[in-house]
Amino acid sequence: MSTLTVTLIQTKLYWENKEANLRMLEENINSIPQKTELVVLPEMFSTGFSMKPEQLAETMEGETVKWMKEMSAKNGVIITGSVIIKENEKYFNRLIWMLPNGQYGHYDKRHLFGFAHEDEHYHAGEKRLIASVKGWKINLLVCYDLRFPVWARQQVKTDEEKPTPEYDLLIYVANWPERRNHAWKTLLCARAIENQSYVVGVNRVGKDGNDIYHSGDSMVIDPLGEVLYHTADDEDIFTLTLEKENLDNVRNKFPFWKDGDSFRIEG
C-alpha cells in the first residue's frame, strides 16, 4: 500500500523580509535529515501575514515562485505554502503546490480574515485544489478556511467504478495567533474525524510585525482524530510517513463517509 512522507516546518518568520525568509527556509529544507516527499511551509512564508500587498506582492514569475521551483528541483520534493501574488491587478493569498519538475498548481484562499482586514486587501478564491501524488488525493487550504467545515467537507465520488471519498489528506498552512490556539487545535481534529482523512496543520511561531504571538501548535492527525504529532512555541522540523493502509482500514471498518449529505457550493 502507498505511503507518503511529509515534513512540517514550524518556524519564526522575518517580518516583510523576503530575502531573509527564503534564505532561512532554504537552510531548513537543506537540513532535513531523512528522505521526504512533501515539505509544508506556513502561510505567507516569505513575508509573514502582511496587509501590504501593494508593496510585497509578486507575480507567478517572481522571486519566491522561482525559489520554490529551484528548491523543489534541487531536493526532489514537493513544496507547498502560501505567498502574496498579484494577478490581473488583484492580490491573492495564494497557496502554491510546486513539483520537482517545475509544474505547479495553486489555490487562492477562499475565506479572507475580515477581523484583520484581509478582505480589504486581497481577493477571495473560488475553487479548491485537490492535488494528486502517488495515489494520494490532497486537499490544500489556508488558515481561516479551517473555521468553515463546508469548504473542506468530504464528498463521495460516485462517477468512478467504486465510490470513494474525494481526498485522503487535508493540509492547512497558517499564521494562526496563540490567543485562539484552542480553536486551531480543536478544529484540526474535527476536520480529521468528520472527513475520515489525515490532517496536517502547519503554523508559524513567534511574534509578527503587529506584536501578535504565534505558538505554532503544528499538528498531524490520523483519520480517527488521534494526534500523531504536535509541538508548540518552538521552531521544529518534523518528518512523518503516512500510511494509506491505515486510512483504508479506518474507512472500511467505519464507513461513515458513505452516509454524508450530498451538496453543492455556490459562490
Phi, psi angle pair for 120, to nearest 5°: -85, -15
Give percent of the chain above pLDDT 70: 99
What is the domain range of residue 36?
A: 3-259
Q: Is residue 119 in some structural domain?
A: yes
Are the beta carbons of 13 and 41 closer than 8 angstroms? no
Structural domain total, the chain: 1
147 grid coordinates: 473555521
Annotated active-site residue 127? The verdict is: no
Phi, psi angle pair for 38, to nearest 5°: -140, 125
Q: Is residue 264 in some structural domain?
A: no
Active-site pick, 58, 109, 118, 189: 109
pLDDT band at 162 (very low <50, low <70, confident <90, very high): confident
- Say which residue the cell 505567507 belongs to: 44
70-109: b (≥16 Cβ within 10 Å) or e:
ebbeebebbbbbbbbbbeeeebbbbbbbbbbeeebebbbb
Q: Is residue 267 in some structural domain?
A: no
Q: Is residue 102 in some structural domain?
A: yes
Whether the pLDDT of residue 153 is over 70: the answer is yes
The pLDDT tens digits of the residues spanning 206-243 come to: 999 999 999 999 999 999 999 999 999 999 999 999 99
Active-site pick, 16, 37, 43, 178: 43
Q: Is residue 266 in some structural domain?
A: no
22 grid coordinates: 527564503
Q: What is the signed CA dihedral for 185, 45, 235, 132, rounded to 10 degrees?
A: 60
Annotated active-site residue 43? The verdict is: yes
What is the C-alpha separation between 130 and 169, in angstroms, rounded? 9
What is the C-alpha separation between 193 and 187, in angstroms, rounded? 10
- The mean of the pLDDT values for the chain is 96
Active-site pick, 18, 37, 58, 143: 143
Question: Max CA-CA distance within the chain?
Answer: 53
| Number of residues that make up the chain | 267
Annotated active-site residue 185? The verdict is: no
Whether the pLDDT of residue 258 is over 70: the answer is yes
Least confident residue range of 25-29, 146-150, 156-160, 202-206: 156-160
| Single pTM value for the model | 0.97
Q: Considering only CA atoms, which of 164, 173, 176 is closest in space to residue 140?
A: 173
Are the beta carbons of 240 and 6 closer than 8 angstroms? yes
Q: Is residue 240 in some structural domain?
A: yes
Q: Is residue 181 in some structural domain?
A: yes
CATH of the domain at 240: 3.60.110.10
The pLDDT tens digits of the residues spanning 86-137 come to: 999 999 999 999 999 999 999 999 999 999 999 999 999 999 999 999 999 9
Q: Is residue 154 in some structural domain?
A: yes
